[in-house]
Chains A and B, each alone.
Chain A
Amino acid sequence: MFKRPNGLNSIALRLSAMFTLVALLVFVLIGGALYQQVDKGIGLLPEAELDARFSVLESSINRFGNPDHWAKISAKLTLLSEEDKRIRFWAVSGDPHYEYGAPDAQIRAFAQSPTGVRDLYIPGKAAPYKVLINQIPAKEQRPALRFLIAINTETFRQTQHHLLVALISLAIIGVLLASALGYWVAHIGLKPLIKLSQEAQKLAPPRLSGRLKLSPLAPELEQLVSAFNSTLDRVEQAYTRLESFNADVAHELRSPLTNLIGQTQVALTRGRSAEHYFEVLQSNLEELERLRSIINDMLFLASADQGSKASKLTRASLAGEVATTLDYLEFILEDAQVTVQVSGDAEVNIETAHLRRALINLLSNAVQHTEAGQQIEVLIEHTGKRASISISNPGQAISAEHLPRLFERFYRVDAARHNSGANHGLGLAIVKAIALMHGGDVFVRSADGRNTFGLYLPV
């Protein structure tokens, strides 16, 4: 059954969570920077306003020093503070005629602070006043006075507060939006993947011939699909090979069994001489030996298939192993009137019994396909990290369709099977299994009137 993507591992959920985190980070960074900049700007505003107001007032205060003029100034200050409720003025001097704003004791004391901008906390007010204290020198009858312009910072605070609230709520909305949109986008983006897995679900074992479609796919998925398809190719090939292998095994076992059953039944249908029974038993034994040999070879191949590796490795000279093998095959070579020329050498780690078996199979295969008076060439090469043994004999070219399949079990170029003794079509398959058990491989070439079979071994 197709399982819907859910749970914490869902790619869509994880992507949208990541979108959310990214959005959060971006909003916090931008919002924080923005807030700081604006905050700094707002912090400078009161002082700028105080300075501006003072510079306007300073010249008019300084113009004359008589009571009339001061009365005008006082009226102007009153007018100004009524126009803008945030602003208050105080003038503090020894002489009550030249004072303004009815300074109480707190203000009087505060006015004696050094000139400049200071904070003044007035009881009952939440925010402090920013106060600019200036010294205005005496002029004519007017004594020197401390002139204070105060501005209530409450509004600036409120502005700051509004900004903060606005930024935070924008960030929250933005993050929520990003995560929702992220989920949606991820979901849309993952659609091809979901479609692909639904398609892959349909490729259950009995339908191995099916493949995933490549055409309307995102390029990111194409590699996955082609890798998946080529895996399926290999699985299907192996599956087909296995099926035909089973059929071949049954066939190979069937003919000796047919002989065994038939001969024994014929022998038993009527009384026979002891000699006849002896004959039959001997013939049966030959068939049974054939069965044993096939079964042993198949067991060997099966253990190689199960990943059994060559153990008991010893370091040996390949030329030495070839020489030992040729010594064993001496009589066969002489009978066939075939000579062998060996060149090159390499040292490798091998399980000698296995390698000899492979060499015997390769060489006797070569002898069988070489005409009397001709020469087999054995070439041992050492290139980089591997050594190779190639055994080539002059012979009819093997057509290209057969080449890649020669090392398959029971594969024969000529369909007519010659069931001769030990030669039951597993020889080259065993060579391949032995090469694989050593971490190597086999190869075959047919060119220029020579057929070359061989194996690679890691050095």
Chain B
Amino acid sequence: MRVLIIEDEEKTADYLHRGLTEQGYTVDVARDGVEGLHLALESDYAVIVLDVMLPGIDGFGVLRALRARKQTPVIMLTARERVEDRIRGLREGADDYLGKPFSFLELVARLQALTRRSGGHEPVQVTVDDLWIDLISRKASRAGSRLDLTAKEFALLSVLARRQGEILSKTSIAEMVWDINFDSDANVVEVAIKRLRAKLDGPFEHKLLHTIRGMGYVLERRSV
């Protein structure tokens, strides 16, 4: 899947390039608005990551010129966390918006949301190693024995299981499980993971739920 990054800040452009390439995307980078607009119009990208403050033409200018000809999905990045900017970006046709400082995981999640093909039906059952989850009857068992989970614990487990092998940040877990999409004073996700881990991994030698410090959590089978 081809992604175009239009970003003049060298470090940002470099780590986005490396990170997204490792995530399986084919990445092109443009260092200013003129080059970026040219690439965006000439080639077909699945999604464009567009910085607002650019030399040459600024992000809004690029977006306007692009929207005159193409409907490629665009995520805008900006250091100015201002409501007017957000509203202006969305009104001029941006599909999503991330304020700097943003987390890389967050960006990946948004990219996936934009490029996810519609109509892809949700799985009914998920298995991770010896863990088995039925999303319809809302039951889970591990190594044949039933896990006694509360509704919230089950919701958390199914979010992690459907994206097995993918690191999920606390913010996106909170958003997917509780529909809370902002930082708050409460460390709810940590507490919830602790509880789920006790039931899921507690009695078993083989751990499935892993903490990636500073980033989030991942559910996967890891070879010892």
Identity of the chain A residue whose Cβ is nearest the Cβ of B181 in the assembled complex: A353
Residues of A within 8 A of B183 (CB): 293, 296-297, 422
Is A339 located at the chain interface by the 8 A CB criterion? no
Tell me if A331 counts as interface (CB < 8 A to partner B): yes
Binds B, one of A157-165, A194-202, A209-217, A284-292: A284-292
Task: Judge if B224 is at the interface, Cβ distance under 8 Å.
Answer: no
The answer to whether B185 and A427 have CB atoms under 8 Å apart is yes
**B213 in contact with A332 (CB, 8 Å):** no
Smallest distance from the beta carbon of B65 to chain A beta carbons, Å? 28
Residues in A with CB closer than 8 Å to B181 are 353
Shortest CB distance A24–B (Å)? 58
Give the residues in chain A near B1, CB-CB below 8 Å: none
| Contact digits for B28-69, partner A, Cβ 8 Å, 1 yes 0 no | 000000000000000000000000000000000000000000
Report the separation of the CA atoms of residues A283 and B214 in the bound assembly, to the nearest whole angstrom. 7
**Complex formed: what's the CA distance from A231 to B192 in Å?**
49
Complex interface residues of chain A between 314 and 337 (CB less than 8 A to chain B): 327-332, 335
- Could you give, for residues 211-224 of chain B, a 1 whenever the CB lies within 8 Å of some chain A CB and a 0 otherwise? 01111000000000
Q: Are A329 and B83 in contact (CB under 8 A)?
A: no
Complex Cα distance A267/B68, Å?
51
List, in ascending order, chain B residues with CB within 8 A of A423's CB. Answer: 185
Residue from A282, A331, A360 in contact with B192 in the complex, judged by beta carbons closer than 8 Å: A331
Grouping DSSP codes into helix (H, G, I), strand (E, B) and loop, the A interface class, with mixed when no group exceeds half, is: helix
Segment 274-305 of A: residues with Cβ below 8 Å from B: 282-286, 288-289, 291-293, 295-297, 299-300, 303
B81 to chain A: which residues have CB within 8 Å?
Answer: 296, 299-300, 303
Given contacts A283-B213, A292-B103, contact A331 B152 (CB under 8 A): yes
CA distance A112 to B14 in the complex (A): 130
| Residue total for A at the interface (Cβ-Cβ under 8 A) | 37
Known: A308-B83, A353-B182, A356-B180. A332 touches B214 (CB 8 A): no
How many Å from the CB of B78 to the closest CB on chain A?
11
- Write out the residue numbers on chain B whose beta carbons fall within 8 Å of the beta carbon of A356: 180
Grouping DSSP codes into helix (H, G, I), strand (E, B) and loop, the B interface class, with mixed when no group exceeds half, is loop
The CA-CA distance from A282 to B211 in the complex, in Å, is: 11
Residue in B101, B103, B188, B212 whose CB lies within 8 Å of A329: B188
Indicate whether A229 reaches chain B with its CB closer than 8 angstroms: no
B184: Cβ under 8 A from any A Cβ: yes
How far apart are the CA atoms of A335 and B190 in the complex, in Å? 12
B187 lies within 8 A of A282 (CB): no
How close is B67's CB to chain A, nearest CB, in angstroms? 24
Does B214 lie within 8 Å of A284, measured CB to CB?
Answer: yes
B143 within 8 A of A: no
Assuming the A-B contacts A296-B81, A332-B191, are A285 and B182 also in contact, with contact meaning beta carbons closer than 8 angstroms in the complex? no
B165-187 near A? 1/0 per residue, CB < 8 Å: 00000000010001011111111
Chain A, Cβ-Cβ closest to B102: A292
Closest partner residue, chain A, to B184 (CB atom): A360
B99 on the A face (CB < 8 A): yes
In the complex, which residues of chain B have a beta carbon less than 8 angstroms from the beta carbon of A285? Answer: 213-215
Annotate A364-406 by CB proximity to B: 1 below 8 A, 0 otherwise.
Answer: 1100000000000000000000000000000000000000000
Knowing A331-B188, A360-B186 touch, does A289 contact B83 (C-beta < 8 A)? no
Interface residue ranges, A against B (CB under 8 Å)? 282-286, 288-289, 291-293, 295-297, 299-300, 303, 308, 311, 327-332, 335, 353, 356-357, 360-361, 363-365, 421-423, 427
A-B CB proximity, top 6 nearest? A285-B214, A282-B213, A364-B186, A427-B185, A299-B81, A286-B214
